[in-house]
Amino acid sequence: MTVYFIGAGPGDPELITVKGQRLIRSCPVILYAGSLVPEAVLDGHQAHQVVNTAELHLDEIVALLRAAHERGDDVARVHSGDPSLYGAIGEQIRHLRALGIPFEIIPGVTATAACAALLESELTLPDVSQTVILTRYASKSPMPAGEELHDLARHGATMAIHLGVQHLEKIVTELLPHYGATCPIAVVHRASWPDQDWVLGTLADIEAKVSAKDFKRTALILVGHVLGAEDFADSALYHESHRHLFRAGAADDTDSR
């Protein structure tokens, strides 16, 4: 018996891995985070037990996993996005290890990736940004030392900020000194869902644009000069002079950028 932590992707039922879909359709028990995972992700399942865990606390979830283990049933534990990013699987894994229950993590498409696709943007452009920071805004629980937003903003890298749309004014205030008022910023609501929506602006005008849309939750903030950038160098990867292992006549395998 194995517990499979499956990344269901950002919302579109087709944005799930083949492995994740296969396990959902074959596991006899499914526990899914119904507040963030659409039921369509479960289409084709043959499970005898399907539980929406949105209203359950940790001990209740662990009890279900333990009961399945005792019956010898594999479990599809379905989380939104990629379960390793803000999926709250760490505490579940800690309990499984203590109970000696095997588990496996199946990666999923992240909300950040879905937002980049929607905005038709590459998040790492030569000479603009080669780093992406995934973080959240500290509200109910504090951030570890050195990970406050103003600390991360000093890098000027492309940044994806979770759980922050309700604190947009404070976020803009912390970003402005490091990115500048003209830096592009996007706020994407429910990326890849049927009701997805977004606004693209600058740090100077994004608050008014988001207010007009009335986004309150389930939104990701992307900020960085890569958004809408046009004046950047071509990647070395496809340049005719770039030599690498897979191009005829190449002598060595060098970094693509």
Q: For position 257, what pLDDT does the model report?
A: 56
| 164 in the same domain as 125 | yes
Q: For position 238, what pLDDT does the model report?
A: 66
| 119 in the same domain as 97 | no
Query: Distance (Å, rounded) from C-alpha 25 to C-alpha 45?
Result: 4
| 120 in the same domain as 34 | no
Please indicate, yes or no, if residue 237 is contained in any of the structural domains.
no
CATH number, domain at 28? Answer: 3.40.1010.10
- Domain endpoint, select from 77, 106, 135: 106
Q: For position 233, what pLDDT does the model report?
A: 80
What is the domain range of residue 134? 111-223
Q: For position 15, what pLDDT does the model report?
A: 97
| 119 in the same domain as 101 | no
- Contact, 25 vs 45, CB < 8 A? yes
Per-residue pLDDT of the chain (257 residues; tens, 9 = 90+): 999 999 999 999 999 999 999 999 999 999 999 989 999 999 999 999 999 999 999 999 999 999 999 999 999 999 999 999 999 999 999 999 999 999 999 999 999 999 999 999 999 999 999 999 999 998 777 889 999 999 999 999 999 999 899 999 999 999 999 999 999 999 999 999 999 999 999 999 999 999 999 998 889 999 999 998 888 888 777 666 666 666 665 545 555 55
Please indicate, yes or no, if residue 228 is contained in any of the structural domains.
no
Query: Distance (Å, rounded) from C-alpha 7 to C-alpha 10?
Result: 9
Please indicate, yes or no, if residue 234 is contained in any of the structural domains.
no
- Domain endpoint, select from 66, 85, 106: 106
Predicted TM-score (pTM) of the model is: 0.88
Please indicate, yes or no, if residue 61 is contained in any of the structural domains.
yes
Query: Distance (Å, rounded) from C-alpha 208 to C-alpha 169?
Result: 10
Q: For position 70, what pLDDT does the model report?
A: 97
CA dist 4 → 21, 106, 151 (Å):
11, 7, 35
| 138 in the same domain as 89 | no
- Quick one: which H or E segment has residue 26? helix 18-26
| 217 in the same domain as 119 | yes
Largest CA distance in the chain: 61
- Contact, 148 vs 184, CB < 8 A? no
First to last CA, the chain: 44
Return the structure tokens found at 175: 């970003």
| 143 in the same domain as 96 | no
| 115 in the same domain as 101 | no
Please indicate, yes or no, if residue 244 is contained in any of the structural domains.
no
Please indicate, yes or no, if residue 236 is contained in any of the structural domains.
no
Query: Distance (Å, rounded) from C-alpha 52 to C-alpha 109?
Result: 21
Q: For position 245, what pLDDT does the model report?
A: 65
Q: For position 180, what pLDDT does the model report?
A: 96
Say how many domains are in the chain: 2
Please indicate, yes or no, if residue 55 is contained in any of the structural domains.
yes
Please indicate, yes or no, if residue 255 is contained in any of the structural domains.
no
- Domain endpoint, select from 106, 140, 168: 106
| 143 in the same domain as 48 | no
Query: Distance (Å, rounded) from C-alpha 13 to C-alpha 2?
Result: 23
Q: Which amino acid is located at 89 in the chain?
A: I
